Structure 1
Amino acid sequence: EGFYNDKPLDELPVGLQGYYENHWQLMGMTTKPLPRNKIKIVYVMCALRGAASREVIAKYSKQNELTVQEVLEGWAQFLQKQESYQPPRYRFYHESFRDFLHRRDIVQAAGVNLPDISAEVADNITEGLQL
């Protein structure tokens, strides 16, 4: 079942950035109050840069694994699931999605502080938390 079944052709998002923006909204990432837990999970995955298991994403983002699983399922079309690892690891398919997440307007609207998230990830790595 697709998100765009009932949309006329002229209302479909234009280009990859438009597609990302549309999906960001469809996933409720702009609703009020902001889903800060889910937003943090996506940005922690962005900061990790490499593939990570659901458990590791939960530890780095300080969220429960159920919430992380919901985010992974909601963003599945943008993620590569590496099942050769047990447990499976997840990473973004394209750098363009990471670029989208770093756009100033998206960062401001999401209410995140990228340096803080990057520092938090770096602190966890320093403390020995493995991917």
Structure 2
Amino acid sequence: MGKSTIAAKYVSENNAICYFNVLVDGRNRPELFLESIRKQLINRYQITNIENADLSTLLVKVTGKLSNNEKLIIVVDALDEVNQEPGAENILYLPKTLPDNVYFLLTRRRYEPTKERLYTEGLKKEYLDLTDKKYNSENAKDIQEYIRFYLENYPEHKNGLQNWITSKNIKHDAFIKELADKSENNFMYLRYVLPTIAEGKYNDLNLTQLPQGLQNYYQTHWGRMKMNDSSKEMKVMILFTLLEIATPIPCEMIFDILNQDECDVQNVLDEWIEYLRKSNIDGDICYSIYHASFLDFLKTKRELKATRKLFTEVNQRIVDYWQREQG
């Protein structure tokens, strides 16, 4: 629904203190959140002697630095991606009370209300559900504007999209409306599908045959890449390795775990690069899953009988790798 984009836009426009939880990069633990917020507050408000302070103490210290009517607003994205043991504490150990003029702007994917883990004492909580039906028309309008911009102004892909539409004898408005419906108001769907169309990978499909929704898109791509064939098992194991390690790792580590040729592993990573994030860590190019939605898709794959054996084998190879490293 664009919750992270909304949060990022707010941070950009207001220079807000912030923390973005990222499950696929391992940046989703309470101690990392606290460390980041502490550093930002120290740098902005020049507070001292709080190197080991908890969040409640930090916030009280900061209020003494705020000018009249100044507010401290802290943005925290993707609470659903936080890695924290179950318990009675708040998610990220957020305080149950707040000093005056201190606010948190929090985002998360849909959740069961009983699993909110956000207990407060005397604080007002307000909710904005982006999936509420009353926003359907506005969300659909945003989606259609995004498609239209991509179709008419995006330099890298507009020609490919125009050619596909022309070859299918489709009017622009019909293409925009149908693709918006298929996206189910999910921008991540469009991030994948629009370039795929432009690059000619859906030349054998017509408009109505395009995948319906993001998870169906992943499934369609999985099938078109023939990932269920026995000859593709190593490709599946490479993705499962990224799923299980759950933090960015270099290509070298993957081929050591799976005992495969480096070039073969790199070719698979390049083949799936649109679903992966590349990052430079201490001079090494590392890879991780790009988005939590693809992570969810891979988790469903590991539960299937057809791929469960591969997942078990990947876990054993990871164990063997760590034993070799520590031995």
* Percent pairwise identity: 31
**Which residue of structure 1 aligns with residue 314 of structure 2?**
117
**C-alpha separation between the residues in 2 aligned to 1:27 and 1:106?**
20
1:105, distance to aligned residue in structure 2 (A):
7.7
**Which residue of structure 2 aligns with residue 12 of structure 1?**
210
Match of 1:3, SS state, is coil
Q: Which moved more, 1:2-11 or 1:69-78?
A: 2-11
Aligned equivalent of 2:232, options 35, 52, 58 = 35
1:84, distance to aligned residue in structure 2 (A):
5.2
Relative to 1, partners in 2 of residues 1:108 and 1:3: Cα closer, same or farther, differing over 3 Å? farther
Relative to 1, partners in 2 of residues 1:81 and 1:2: Cα closer, same or farther, differing over 3 Å? farther
RMSD of equivalent CA atoms: 2.3
- Matching residue's letter, 2:205: K
- In our comparison, the structure showing a higher alpha carbon Rg is 2
**C-alpha separation between the residues in 2 aligned to 1:64 and 1:37?**
11
**C-alpha separation between the residues in 2 aligned to 1:125 and 1:80?**
24
Match of 1:81, SS state, is strand
Whether the 8 Å CA contact 2:251–2:262 is kept in 1: the answer is yes
2:196 matched to 1:3? Answer: no
Relative to 1, partners in 2 of residues 1:56 and 1:103: Cα closer, same or farther, differing over 3 Å? same
**Which residue of structure 2 aligns with residue 63 of structure 1?**
260
1:126, distance to aligned residue in structure 2 (A):
4.1
Q: Which moved more, 1:54-63 or 1:84-93?
A: 84-93
Whether the 8 Å CA contact 1:58–1:65 is kept in 2: the answer is yes
**Which residue of structure 2 aligns with residue 53 of structure 1?**
250
Residues 6-60 of structure 1 show CA distances to partners (whole Å, capped at 9, x for unaligned) of 42111111111111111112222123x3322211111111111010111111111
- Matching residue's letter, 1:118: N
Relative to 1, partners in 2 of residues 1:52 and 1:10: Cα closer, same or farther, differing over 3 Å? same
Match of 2:309, SS state, is coil
**C-alpha separation between the residues in 2 aligned to 1:8 and 1:71?**
28
Which TM-score applies when normalising by structure 1? 0.81
**Which residue of structure 1 aligns with residue 305 of structure 2?**
108
Is there any run of 5+ residues in structure 2 with no aligned partner, and where? Answer: 1-198
**C-alpha separation between the residues in 1 aligned to 2:318 and 2:213?**
31
2:270 matched to 1:80? Answer: no
**C-alpha separation between the residues in 1 aligned to 2:294 and 2:319?**
21
1:113, distance to aligned residue in structure 2 (A):
4.2
Aligned equivalent of 1:25, options 223, 235, 243 = 223
Match of 1:50, SS state, is coil
Whether the 8 Å CA contact 2:301–2:307 is kept in 1: the answer is no
Whether the 8 Å CA contact 1:83–1:89 is kept in 2: the answer is yes
Whether the 8 Å CA contact 2:250–2:284 is kept in 1: the answer is yes
Residues 55-82 of structure 1 show CA distances to partners (whole Å, capped at 9, x for unaligned) of 1111112211111111111111100011
Is there any run of 5+ residues in structure 1 with no aligned partner, and where? Answer: none
Match of 2:247, SS state, is coil
